[in-house]
């Protein structure tokens, strides 16, 4: 066989069909092929004695090397792909670990200790003035009475929320800032 890709592709279906008729595998297929060469050709007697053996061995060694190289290339590709997948999975797991919040159940004693630490940190920080909400009581416009009075930033100070705004914020409807 010349090794020409077109030739090999041409006979693949034929060889596959023949191989499927050999339930004992490659050794039975090889035995059938060598038997054919001995009966129907001058393969064994057409040249010098032992020439057929050199031809067979060089052909087998050639395709053994090609097959092993191909197999090694495939294995290397699979290993690299697995390594990339493992690295990506590890990176994803690391990111999920960083992002995920941990819920830890505390005993009553641990909870009291943690609360004491939080209270201590709050007391050590300078106290911020509590926001005051004032209502408009005396205004010429009756519709304004009872409404909340704006803070210095033309916004509002509530118990847990404070905001300010400028005239530009109101006109443009953007640049919202929460303090």
Residue 145 inside a domain? The answer is yes
Using alpha carbons, list the distances in angstroms from residue 128 to 49, 122, 125, 169.
107, 11, 9, 26
Query: Is 90 a member of any domain?
Result: yes
| Mean pLDDT (whole number) for 143-163 | 79
Most confident of 42-51, 98-107, 169-178: 42-51
- 137: in domain: yes
**14-18, 49-53, 171-175: least confidently modelled range:** 171-175
The mean pLDDT of 87-91, rounded to a whole number, is 89
Q: How confident is the model at residue 174 (pLDDT cuts 50, 70, 90)?
A: low
Residue where a domain terminates, one of 99, 116, 136: 99
Q: Which domain holds residue 70?
A: 5-99
- Is the domain of 141 the same as that of 85? no
* Domain co-membership, 136 together with 75: no
Residue 138 sits in the same domain as residue 175? yes
In angstroms, rounded to a whole number, what is the distance separating the alpha carbons of residues 168 and 153?
Answer: 13
Q: Report whether 154 contacts 164 (CB < 8 A).
A: yes
CB 1 within 8 A of CB 7: yes
Same domain? For 142 and 84 the reply is: no
147 and 90 within one domain? no
Is residue 167 one of the residues assigned to a domain?
yes
Please tell me which residue, 101 or 49, carries the higher pLDDT value. Answer: 49
Do 9 and 95 fall into the same domain? Answer: yes
Looking at the fold, whether 85 and 9 belong to one and the same domain comes out as yes
Is 37 part of any domain?
yes
pLDDT band at 6 (very low <50, low <70, confident <90, very high): confident
Number of domains in the chain: 2
């Amino acid at each position: 066989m010349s090794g020409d890709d077109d030739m090999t592709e041409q006979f693949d279906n034929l060889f596959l069909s023949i191989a499927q008729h050999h339930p004992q595998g490659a050794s039975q297929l090889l035995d059938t092929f060598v038997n054919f060469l001995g009966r129907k050709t001058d393969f064994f007697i057409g040249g010098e004695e032992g020439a057929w053996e050199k031809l067979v061995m060089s052909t087998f060694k050639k395709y053994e090397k090609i097959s092993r190289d191909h197999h090694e290339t495939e294995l290397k590709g699979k290993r690299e792909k697995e390594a990339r997948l493992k690295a990506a999975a590890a990176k994803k797991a690391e990111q999920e670990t960083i992002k995920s919040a941990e819920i830890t159940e505390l005993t009553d004693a641990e909870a009291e200790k943690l609360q004491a630490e939080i209270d201590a940190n709050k007391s050590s920080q300078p106290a911020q003035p509590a926001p005051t909400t004032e209502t408009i009581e005396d205004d010429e416009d009756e519709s304004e009475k009872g409404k909340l009075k704006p803070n210095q930033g033309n916004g509002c100070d509530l118990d847990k929320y404070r905001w300010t705004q400028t005239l530009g914020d109101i006109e443009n409807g953007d640049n919202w800032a929460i303090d």
